[in-house]
Amino acid sequence: MCTLHLIKHKSQSKAYSSSSHKPFFHIQIQESMAIKKLLFASLLICSMIQSSHGATKERLFTDLEKGALEITATPSRTGEGVVLAAGIDKLSITWKVSSTATKEPEFKTIKVKLCYAPISQVDRPWRKTENELFKDKSCPHKISSFSYDPTVKTAQSFDYTLERDIPTGTYYVRAYAVDAKDHEVAFGQSTNADKTTNLFSVQAISGRHKSLDIASVCFSVFSVVALLVFFVNEKRKAKIEQSK
């Protein structure tokens, strides 16, 4: 009887022990599954990002159709040594699709940009030209963007006032033809391949006005005069006290 009782007691203890551990193991399994799902989702997102970057990296400037767009940029003031003023002077921009363009059926949008000439890129890595378009920093200033109408065959023109935040530098204008996926497929620019012709210079706004300069000069003069008057008065007071 004692032996039977002991066996029964042990079996009950084992049953109790296994039943008490079941919730713990169940929680561990749930946590493990959640971690696996999280890792899978992370890997999926990473692969999507990498694939999108890979697609972007394939878009090289050298792969674009060169000269598919004919574009000119005429400053409102011209002449030797003329420097345009940001926020004031204008560019008269004219463009059209070249008769030799082979990718015209892909054109959906025309994007016109202001680009740095090589002379304004020296020792400025933040303006560096790169063949991979997503890395290129030579044309950061957007001028205009508009839908391409293939039925219009004549040259189109518009005026552009230089933005107030344009930095001091030497520039030219470039136009990109973009497809339905927003990928550049062709381009044209207002300068030659070496970017040495038809360039124009821009002077940035200093942030100061003549009225402020005049006011600062007047204030400085007033301060000096006031200081001299103060010293003269102090000297006079000292002499009066000494005479007493």
| Residue tagged 């030579």 (tokens) | 138
Lowest-confidence region among 107-111, 157-161, 202-206? 202-206
* Coil vs helix vs strand at 24: helix
Residue 72 confidence (pLDDT): 98
The mean of the pLDDT values for the chain is 82
DSSP 68: S
State the Cα angle at 226 between 221 and 230, rounded to 5°. 150
Between 237 and 186, name the one with better pLDDT: 186
From the list 199, 197, 142, the residue with the least C-alpha distance to 166 is: 142
Buried b (16+ CB within 10 A) or exposed e, 112-147: bbbbbbeebbeeeeebeeeeebeebebbebebeeee
User: Per-residue pLDDT tens for 206-230?
Assistant: 755 455 556 666 667 777 777 777 7
DSSP 80: T
Residue 30 confidence (pLDDT): 64
Residue 2 confidence (pLDDT): 43
Cβ(152)–Cβ(141) under 8 Å?
Answer: no
Residue 232 confidence (pLDDT): 75
Between 143 and 233, name the one with better pLDDT: 143
Confidence band, pLDDT 50/70/90 cuts, at residue 9: very low
For the full predicted model, state whether its pTM sits above 0.75.
Answer: no
CA dist list (Å): 3 to 6, 7, 11, 108, 225: 5, 6, 12, 91, 117
The phi and psi torsions of 147 (rounded to 5 degrees) equal: -70, 145
Range 68-95 average pLDDT? 96
Judged against a pLDDT cut of 80, whether residue 188 lies above it is answered with yes
Judged against a pLDDT cut of 50, whether residue 10 lies above it is answered with no
Amino acid at 47: S
Judged against a pLDDT cut of 50, whether residue 55 lies above it is answered with no
